[in-house]
Amino acid sequence: MADPHPSGGTDRIVLRGIRAHAHHGVYAFEREQGQLFVVDASLELDTAPAAAGDDLELTVNYAELAQQLRAVVVGEPVNLLETLAQRLADACLAHQLVQAVEITVHKPEAQLGVPFDDVTVAIRRERA
């Protein structure tokens, strides 16, 4: 019988809703007051080796990754969500097992001058 999940397959580890108060933005009031940012990260990797050995060392520890992503968000302020998203993607790709990542950065408290639910920037990056 064929292996239902051959090695090299693409699985996902997804973290949704990592929240942090940070000071990103183009405007002075955003840098001074700060606001809520929410991050979603979807990592593509092969989880078969970890599953076969029941071994955390063969996958990405999502508790550690969540702390790393939060540290990026509360770290050095940037003007653009695009820049923040790239930094978050870089942090994910620093894990050698991650083949690709999709990052969504939410800025639900942005001041747009019109009623809205959320504004997001989403990027996808792959290992070179």
Residues forming the active site: 107
Query: Residue type at 95?
Result: H
| Burial track 75-87 (b if 16+ CB lie within 10 A, e otherwise) | eeebeebeebbbb
**Residue that has been written with the tokens 């699985």 in this structure:** 11
**Cα 26–14–24 angle (5° rounding)?**
10
30: its two tokens? 């955003």
29: its two tokens? 């009031």
Query: How many C-alpha atoms does 2 have within 13 Å on its Cβ side?
Result: 4
Q: In the beta sheet, which residues pair with residue 79? A: none
